[in-house]
Structures are given as structure tokens and as C-alpha cells.
Structure 1
Amino acid sequence: MKIKFPSISTLWSSFLKVVFRFPLQVLVAIAATIAWCLVVDTSKRTEEELILFLCTCNLALTVLLTVDLYAESNKFSVAKQWVLRLIGLLICVSLHFMLKPAFYLADVYRIALLAFAFHLLVAYSPFINKGSANGFWQYNKTLFLRILTSALYAGVLFAGLAIALVAIDGLFNVNIKWEVYMRLFAVVTAGFMTIFFLAGIPSDFEELDKDDSYPKGLKIFTQYVLIPLMTIYLVILLVYEAKIIVNWELPKGLVSTLILGYAVFGILSLLLIQPIKDKEGNGWIKLFSRFFYVMMIPLVVLLLLAVWKRVGSYGITESRYILVILAIWLTLITIYFLFSKKQSIKIIPVSLSILAILSTYGPQSAFSVSKFSQVKRLNMLMKSNEEEDVKQRSAVIDYLVDRHGLTVLQPFTKVNLRELEHEMELKDTAQYRYAIKRNKIDTAYSLLKVKRTEYAASFDYKQFEPETGTLTDIKGYDYLIPIESYNDKFSQKIGNVELRVERDKQSKSTKVIVGDTVVDFDILKMSIEATNLLKAGKLKGSGGKFYLPTELLSIVHKVGNMEVKLVVTTLNTTINADKKEELDRWFNYNGYLLVRIK
């Protein structure tokens, strides 16, 4: 058997077909590829803008694909199709300017929900009010297999090209930097993989209704891997439910995740076996499909109990709102498939996409409901003098400001928070978003006169390192002595002279003693300077780690006939380094003493 590889002309012809069929999608893929390549070496501010643009491209790709597939299946004219495309494009451009994920964590959730909803729209847009169940299943099977094939091809292509670059780097000393590999990854995934996937999307939707093929590999995977795993998880969950009944205790929070995981993979299994579940010779598959929703009844009850426990104790947040919605959806889906005589698998993606879209904006959205719930909870906590309630205040304030901004706390102060927040965000040209968000939270604590709990203060924990990394320049010095955070006192003989080191936990300084001469290396001052630079947005870094110029992490003193230089390689402190009570919990450092004999 000969394997015939496609010629260059065939590949070019296929590419042109994709361009003519999905012109805007190809442009979006190219734009996303360029943006991803630029993310690699840009400033923090630009990086955040590019990442938002990448998210918008993802939304635009699915929205435009939904529009085109709907227009194709309904045989719309070219003019009508372009009108729909422009409407879809306008929606995505509007979302790009409305969303501010760098400032509000709530918008990160919105992007995720919109992406989920728009991907589901692609799954059923050609079959809205038309097409058979078989055509719908064959269409989604094709998309599913095409995604897997695209990922496989992209993975092999990237690995092959990356190995080639490594070989060139090693053989010819080209010094290929890591940024090149990241750009290559962007081109292969955002560019090649997207266009390759688009090339495999079915175009004849009526022909899909006549297709009754079923991949043998899919049946084997579902029957002998997925369904047995689901059965094991079901047994574990049912035994746990029996334990709850016997001990008469409320379920743990983890159980809700396990039930949802079981439901997702169980429903996926049912969708995968839909065309063959009633055929002869598939007894195990038929048994699973018949009893899956029956066995979901006790699990749904357990899920609703777990949700009630979490919401009743701590109010609603975005994640708990999504959990509540999924629990209600799962309950209704279970009832539908148990009692409906005319069952349609199309209801699964349709209902999920509608719920996801409804959860993004409006008074019923996850963000409006959770904001109302947590503001109400904070109001209750502010009026209470119970020790446990006082401790919970800071966690609620952090949550509200982080997700919804400073203005959400307007009911608690007469200060115009909208104007104040606007002034803070105008300073974005001089500050990183992190510093602005930190200032908002600090302002909230000050206005509400709330003291941070230890839990809230732990988020202020920061680590500073030199820009040069672990590389320490010892040129001009005779000795190098390690300074470890666990070793408070030690001595070192240098010739006939004894050098002693004592770390003072109270003053946060390190004393170097030679004979009768004592010199203090003020690490506290170094820590305060570092955190002030961070608050001013002048440091690079992410998460809890930031980088300082080497000279700011080193101190030089003369001790007798020696010059001693303390070089800090890791400084762990808090954003409030000037507050002793917080510093005592988080302060430590490692480094070296460099000694030169004069």
C-alpha cells in the first residue's frame, strides 16, 4: 500500500478554499498569531492588552464561525451572510472595550463563560430548527475528531521544528533564545492548527443526515475505558452518600466537584455512544445508557446538599453561582431524560450555552448576584462584633474589590468611590495594574477602618530577587560566605581573624563582628525600599516574585581591615514592610557575604 502525500499545489488549493469560505476567521487567526508573538517580549502594560486581544480573537473566531455555519445551513445570500458577520464582529469589538480583566477578576470569569457559550454555539448552529439527530451527531463527531487531529499535527510539527532549532543551536552556536520557541509555538497553534481545523469543518449538512458510520476506535475507547471509569466513580460516590446517611453529616465541598466531574464525563460518554446504544451486541453500552440518569438521582440530591451547605455558610460567589446553576441544570436534564418520550441530545449544548450567556451580564448574572450576596454579607459582618465575624471582614473586602472594584463598597462610605477609582486607574501609565489593585484594596481597608487578618495579610507576601538571578559577581573579593535563613549565628576564620555573623530578628539587620568592631547591615531598609518600588510600579515580575537591580540588594561596609559586601539573593517580605507585626511573620532572606582583605 502506497502512502500518497499531498502536493504543494493541493495544500495551497485547500488553504485558498478555507480563506474563501472563512475569510474573517483566517484574518482573526493571523492577528492572534501576531499578537501572541508580540506578547513574548513586551512591557507589562502592553502584555496585558495583547492578552485581552488574544481572548477577543478567541471569542471572535467562535462567533464568526457560528454565524457562517448558520448562514451556510440556511443557504443565505452572500449579502445577508456579511451582514451577520459584521454584527458578530461588532459584538466582539464591543466586548473587547467592555472587558477589563487586568483590573477586575470578574471579567476573567466573563471571558471564560463567553468562550464556553460561543464554543457550544458552534456545536449546534447549523442544526437550529433543522437536521436529524444523526446529522447533528455526525457533525459534532467530525468536529471532535478534527480537533484531536489538529492538536496531534500541531504537536508533531512544533516538536519537529523545535528539535531542528535545538540542533542548529548546538551545531552552529547560533544562540537561539527561548523567545524564538515561544513564537514558533504561537505560529503553530494559533496559526496552523486553527486553519487546519477550519479546513475540516463539514460543508454539506444534508449529507451528514445520511451518514451512519461510526469509528471503531471511539466505540472501544468509550466501552472499555470511559464507561468502566465512570462506574468506578459512581460506586465511590454512592458509598460516600451511604456514609453520610449513616453518620448523618453534611457532605464535604469536594463531593460537588466529583459529582459534576462524573456527570460531565458520563454525559460525554452517552453522547459518544448515541448512534450505537440500541444496536445488538452492545449490552454493556445499553445497560449504561439506560441506568445512567437513574443513578444520577441520589447524586443530584447529594450535590444540592453540598451546594446548600457552601452557599448557606459563606454566601454566593461567582464560582458558587456557577455550581448552583450546574446543579439545577443537572437536575432538570436528569428529569428530562428520565421522563421525556421524545429525547434530543441537542438540548444539552443548547441549554448550557443559554445558561452561560445569561450568567455573564444582567441582574441575573453570576456577577450581579454574587456582588449583591457578598455586599449583604459584609454589611452583616460590619454590624457584628463576634470574633469570627470580625475575622471574615477582610476576606470579603478582598473578594469584592478584586472582582468588582472599589465602587462596590459605596454603601459603606460617603466618599465618591467611582471618582476615586477613576483617578487611580488614570495612573496606569506609571504603575503596573498590580500596584493599582493593591492601592484599591488598601484604600478599602482604610475607608472601612478594617484591620487585615493574618489570612488577608498573607496575600501581601512578596519575594525579591536580583535581575541577574543566582549569578553572583565575586570579582575583586577574596572570600565568599553563604548566609542562610535558618542560621542566625555563626563564625568564620579568615587567616588569624575571626569573623562573626549574627542575624537580629528584632531589628531585621545582620551584624558582622570582627574583634571589637560591629557593623549593622540594615536589611529592613532594603526591604522597605524594595516594596516602595513595587508599589510605584517600577519593578518587573509576576505573581509574588519581583526583580531588583543587583545594587539595591547589596550593602557594603568596612570592618577593621576588611571590606564586607552583603549580597541578598532572595528577600522574602510583605508589601507592608514598615509594619513590624506583619513583617515578623513573613520576613527572611538568603545571600552571601563577600570579603576583601585590605
Structure 2
Amino acid sequence: MKLPSLQQLYYGFRNVIKRFPLQFIFAVAATICWCYYIHISDYRYHSEPNEKLEGHLIKAIAILNLALTLLLALDLISERNQYLPIKKWMLRVGGILICAILYFSLDPANYSADLYRIFLFAFAFHLLVAFAPFIGHAKMNGFWQFNKALFLRFLTSALYSAVLYAGLAIALVAINGLFNADIRWQTYMTLFAIISAGFNTTFFLAGIPTDYKLLEEDQSYPRGLKIFTQFVLIPLVTIYLAILLIYELKIAVQWQLPKGLVSSLILGYSVFGILSLLLVYPVKETAGNNWIKLFSRFFYVMLIPLVVLLLLAVWKRVGHYGITESRYILTALALWLAGITIYFLFSKKQNIKVIPISLCITSLLATYGPQSAFSVSKFSQLSRLKRIMSSTKKEDIKERPAVIRYLVYTHGLKTLQSFTKKDLSKIEQKIDTSDTYRYSMKEKKVDTALAIFKVRDERKYDEGVNIKLQNDENQVLNVKGYDYLIPINQYPNENLIRLNGADLKIERSNLNVSLSINNQPSLHIDFKALFDQAVKAYQKGELKAIDKKQAYLYPAKLMTVSKNINGYQYTIVLTTLESTYYDDNRDDYFWNETTTYLLIKKL
């Protein structure tokens, strides 16, 4: 790979500004927004964070990315079809208007649905760039060569950007270490933003092909690409296939529904397989490459049972929990895979442009409209909520808060308007203007919905009741008559002590404290058992309160254990034991703080 000279970089930069002026402006604007976001984040712990401003900056970065890719696709269409400047600018203005509408209509900071929409639009617009110059042009070689050039340019841009960032970051580390410059993490993040959003984007744009006729005539094929496909991608596809076939056999034998993880494996198999076929597409007709045709047919034949398995995995989740955006997308991908499989198995044309075009259309259809992921998901979950709100089954009652939380987080509080006569739009607007923190705003909306529908959130964190037990005879430790006092650390540890010829080992854990003498277990106090016994007394109202801070006197005999061994009396005394009692009886975790001593006296 030949490194570009400074002159080449300069000409490339100048050509980008001339060829893609708006895209360059969007890249610079996104870089500025990102750097400013990093800057205001620096004061998060020094002043009240302005989350609304941060939300606008994040949204601006996302929309600028959409604008860059959409206008890049439109400019490529204009170039290929040699549109007049006025028509070219009309397309550009149309693209800018679309992105402006998206900016003012989307609110990803408050609604998860809009976050999904941004990802879907970004995916669709990136796919649009791949085939935009070849709309209405049937030749496949130019399409493949164009995307090969984009793919290699993307890898080159990523490599150059990574090396540049690493070099400059190491230089900053050196300056910081040698000159005590106090360079903070914000500087490194700003540098990363400038290189990844500014330099990387500009460098990539400079390498986009311009001569489409030359692409049609180009018959070159990188040998390394074939080696990479044949010895890396295809073996990976084979491994995925073997795992999936064995799992499918297991399902058939045990006659059980598939697990959710199988969806990821099938999609991984599909992605690697389709990518492998696309990378070797130009050489499939050349001599000695009959294995490509064989692999192509074998790949799509094996997709048939896997698509069925994928649909079963989705149906298992949808049948019980209804449709959500992620399950909708998974279902759409499964149906798309089924369509692609049928096309490449039975079509004689084998038009590879079908892959990005169909994926792009599928993504756009999922963004807005009655068929979109959000309309279908909202309808499904509202129907589910209506059913479980009228149900008296225990499992349905437990599911109510989760469905309400999903609808509020994803679609907003007003989505639940059909369930109440209260004006939820006004309530939501009031909450939005009363709090600057996004998380607390969302939680207030959820709490409001739960209160309106009189639904108890079983998943709500149980803060519990803090109880502090104090030894009723040793609130202040009485050491009269003892010869030695050894404090026992409240944190888990192990102490080895040699005293008067005896080896003492004190072991402290979260659950207990124990003493071994000459490797023989001698004394033991179980904190968990002691506290559980105290909780029962607390529930019955039998504990004597010391103050209003949940401190209680507890019998000394229950907080003390003593034993005479070889002419010595060993006593472990707890003066305090503090922990938290939970209504849901959590047995998997026991937190405590203790004040514990080992007392020793010679008999």
C-alpha cells in the first residue's frame, strides 16, 4: 500500500471541498458539536448539568451524519446522470429539508422509539450510497468495483485515522509526563472527535471514485480479497453452520422451542455468508472457481431451515411478550432473508444490487407509517396491556409494570391516554418542564402512570429497613478481668496470631466470624443467623428501641460466645451488628457492619 504524499492529501482535500461542499460542512459541524459536548461534559460534577443542551448536541451529531450520507447519495446520483447544477441543488435542498424535519420531529433523548428511527435511517442512507449511482444502470461490474473501492477506502481511512490518533495521543502523554502539562481526558476525546469525525470523513470522501465508465471496464480483482474470503470468511460461515445444524438436530430430538441466542447465530451466518459471496462475485465465472457456484447454492439452500428456525425463535418471544421494536426488526430480517434466499435460488439474473436495495427499502418502511416497527410495536403492547389489566392471573399482574415502563420509555406517557380520562399530554408536558434530568423525568412519568393505573412495580428497588443491634451489656466494651483484647476487622480477612504458645487464626467473612486454636475450630458466630433471629423479634415488636434511627438493644448472651481451652477463656463479643432487612427476603446477599472483639484471659 503506497502512502499518500502531502501534495496528494492537499489535492484530495481541495477536491472534497469542491465536489462535496455540503458534506464537508456537515463533517465540520458534527466535529464542532462533538467537541462542544465533550467540553460541557467536563463540568458535569461542578455545576448542574444542562441535559437538554447535551441532548440537542447528540441529536445534532446524529442528524448531521444522516444529512452527510443522504446528500452524498444524492450527489452521486447527480454525478452519474450528469444533472445540471440547478437540478443537483434541488436534490440537495430536498435532502436538507428531510433532515431538518427529522431534527425537529425526533426526540431520542426522551423516546427510545426515535433512537431506533435514527439507527434505521442511518442504515438505510448508508445502503443508499452503495447503489445510488447505479439506479437505472444494469451492469454489475461497475456496481461491484464501486463498492469494492468504498470498502477498501473505508478500511484505509480507519487505519490512517487510528495511526494518526495513536501517534498524537502518545505525543500528548509524553508532553504530560515530561512537562507536567496536566492534559486531561477531555483533550484526548477532543482529539479523537477531530480525527474520527473530521479527518476520517474527509479522507474517505476524497477516495470516492469519479469515473463510472472506468469502473465498468475495470476487471481487476485483489488476490488478497479472494484469499481473505476463501480462508477466513467461508471457514467462519462453516463453523456457524455446523453449530446451528447440531442445535437444530437437538431441537428436533428434544422437541423444544429454540433459545433466543440462536437468532444472533443465524444472523451472523447470514451476514458472513452473503458478504463472502459478494466479495467473490466477479470471479465466480472464471476458470477454476466452480467452488464459488457450489458454495453459493449450498449457502442459500442451508438458509431455508435456518430462516424457519429464526422465525420460530422470534415467534416464541412474540407469542408471550408481544412485538417490540427489536423483535419487529428481527422478524423483518428473517422475512428479508427468506425473500433473498428464494430470489437467488430461483432467479437466473442473480442481480446482487437486490441485496442493498431491498435492505434499504425494508429499513425505510420500518421508520414511519402503520406498517412501521413503532406503530406495530405500540399496537401490540397496548393490546397486551389491555388484556393483562383485565386479567386476574398472577403472572399477568406481574407483567403490568414492565409493559407500562416500556410504553412510557419508548413512546411517551401520552401513549396510555386510552386507559384514562386524565389528560396525559398535559401531565407529560408538566413533568418535562419541571426537571432537567432525563432519567428522573422518565422515572416520574413511569411512576405517574403506575399511580394512575394503581399498579405496583414489583421490580422497583426495595430500599429495605436498616436495623442496628447493640449489645445490651456491652454498648461500651467491658474488659474488666481479661488479659488480652484483639479487635476483629469488620471487613473479610484472616489474622494469624501466636499467643503464649498457641496459634490463633481469626477468620472474618460477610456471614460469620470464627476462631481456630492450633488448627482446631473453637468459636463461631453466624451473623446472618443472628440477624435473621433479630428480624423476627423486630417484626413482632419485641426489640427495645434506643432512638429513632432504627437502633435496638439486643441480649448480650446472643451476641457473645465463650469457651475455655487449655487454661484460657476465649470470648468473641459483638458490641454492634448493623444490616438491612428486605421485605422480599433476599437470601443471595447479606451486607453487614459489625464491631467485634476477641477477649482472652488466663484462668
Q: SS of the counterpart of 2:460? A: helix
Whole-angstrom distance in 2 between the partners of 1:434 and 1:246: 47
Contact 1:484–1:590 (8 Å) recurs in 2:
no
Contact 2:67–2:99 (8 Å) recurs in 1:
yes
Contact 2:236–2:272 (8 Å) recurs in 1:
no
Question: Bigger shift: 237-246 or 91-100?
Answer: 237-246
Q: 1:202 aligns with which of 195, 206, 209?
A: 209
Whole-angstrom distance in 1 between the partners of 2:206 and 2:365: 32
Whole-angstrom distance in 1 between the partners of 2:329 and 2:395: 27
Whole-angstrom distance in 2 between the partners of 1:460 and 1:80: 64
Q: Specify the alignment match of 2:518 in structure 1.
A: none
Q: 2:338 aligns with which of 294, 311, 331?
A: 331
**Shift in Å at residue 144 of structure 1?**
0.5
> 1:15 and 1:588, CA in 2 relative to 1: closer, same or farther beyond 3 A?
farther
Give CA-to-partner distance per residue, 1:513-548, whole Å, 9 cap, x none: xxxxx9979599xxxxxxxxxxxxxxxxxxxxxxxx
Contact 1:304–1:327 (8 Å) recurs in 2:
yes
Following TM superposition, the consecutive aligned residue runs of length 4 or more in structure 1 with deviations greater than 6 angstroms are: 480-483, 502-508, 518-521, 582-593
Q: 1:358 aligns with which of 359, 365, 368?
A: 365
> 1:160 and 1:386, CA in 2 relative to 1: closer, same or farther beyond 3 A?
same
1:271 and 2:270 are equivalent in the alignment: no
> 1:4 and 1:316, CA in 2 relative to 1: closer, same or farther beyond 3 A?
closer
Q: 2:348 aligns with which of 341, 353, 358?
A: 341
Contact 2:240–2:268 (8 Å) recurs in 1:
no
1:457 and 2:460 are equivalent in the alignment: yes
Q: Specify the alignment match of 1:443 in structure 2.
A: 448
Q: 1:310 aligns with which of 312, 317, 328?
A: 317
Whole-angstrom distance in 1 between the partners of 2:419 and 2:2: 72
Contact 2:237–2:273 (8 Å) recurs in 1:
yes
**Which blocks of at least 5 consecutive residues in structure 2 are unaligned?**
41-48, 465-486, 493-508, 514-526, 536-544, 552-578, 596-603
Q: Specify the alignment match of 2:62 in structure 1.
A: 55
1:6 and 2:5 are equivalent in the alignment: yes
**Which blocks of at least 5 consecutive residues in structure 1 are unaligned?**
462-479, 491-501, 509-517, 525-571, 574-578, 594-598
Question: Bigger shift: 150-159 or 295-304?
Answer: 295-304
1:418-567 equivalences under 5 Å are 418-427=425-434, 430-453=435-458, 456-458=459-461
Whole-angstrom distance in 2 between the partners of 1:152 and 1:72: 28
> 1:489 and 1:138, CA in 2 relative to 1: closer, same or farther beyond 3 A?
same
**Shift in Å at residue 411 of structure 1?**
1.5
Determine which structure has more spread, i.e. the larger CA radius of gyration.
2
Paired letter, 1:449: K
**Shift in Å at residue 346 of structure 1?**
0.3
**Shift in Å at residue 363 of structure 1?**
0.8
Contact 1:30–1:191 (8 Å) recurs in 2:
yes
1:156-171 equivalences under 5 Å are 156-171=163-178
Contact 1:227–1:269 (8 Å) recurs in 2:
yes
Contact 1:59–1:92 (8 Å) recurs in 2:
yes
Contact 1:255–1:306 (8 Å) recurs in 2:
yes
Paired letter, 2:5: P
- TM-score, normalisation: structure 2: 0.77
**Shift in Å at residue 431 of structure 1?**
2.1
Contact 1:481–1:592 (8 Å) recurs in 2:
no
Paired letter, 1:15: F
> 1:340 and 1:370, CA in 2 relative to 1: closer, same or farther beyond 3 A?
same
Whole-angstrom distance in 1 between the partners of 2:4 and 2:307: 51
> 1:523 and 1:356, CA in 2 relative to 1: closer, same or farther beyond 3 A?
farther
1:119 and 2:117 are equivalent in the alignment: no
Whole-angstrom distance in 2 between the partners of 1:216 and 1:97: 48
Give CA-to-partner distance per residue, 1:316-368, whole Å, 9 cap, x none: 11011111111111111101111111120001100111110110111110000
> 1:177 and 1:66, CA in 2 relative to 1: closer, same or farther beyond 3 A?
same
**Shift in Å at residue 481 of structure 1?**
11
> 1:3 and 1:298, CA in 2 relative to 1: closer, same or farther beyond 3 A?
closer
Q: Specify the alignment match of 1:102 in structure 2.
A: 109
Whole-angstrom distance in 2 between the partners of 1:146 and 1:375: 46
> 1:489 and 1:275, CA in 2 relative to 1: closer, same or farther beyond 3 A?
closer
Q: Specify the alignment match of 1:399 in structure 2.
A: 406
**Shift in Å at residue 450 of structure 1?**
0.6
> 1:299 and 1:487, CA in 2 relative to 1: closer, same or farther beyond 3 A?
closer
Whole-angstrom distance in 2 between the partners of 1:382 and 1:519: 45
1:27 and 2:25 are equivalent in the alignment: yes
Aligned length: 498
1:246 and 2:244 are equivalent in the alignment: no
Whole-angstrom distance in 2 between the partners of 1:3 and 1:402: 51
Give CA-to-partner distance per residue, 1:275-333, whole Å, 9 cap, x none: 11222223443321231111111112212222222211211110111111111111111
Contact 1:276–1:282 (8 Å) recurs in 2:
yes
Q: Specify the alignment match of 2:326 in structure 1.
A: 319
Q: 1:235 aligns with which of 237, 242, 251?
A: 242
Whole-angstrom distance in 1 between the partners of 2:591 and 2:170: 39
**Shift in Å at residue 373 of structure 1?**
0.3
> 1:198 and 1:394, CA in 2 relative to 1: closer, same or farther beyond 3 A?
same
Q: SS of the counterpart of 1:116? A: helix
> 1:283 and 1:343, CA in 2 relative to 1: closer, same or farther beyond 3 A?
closer
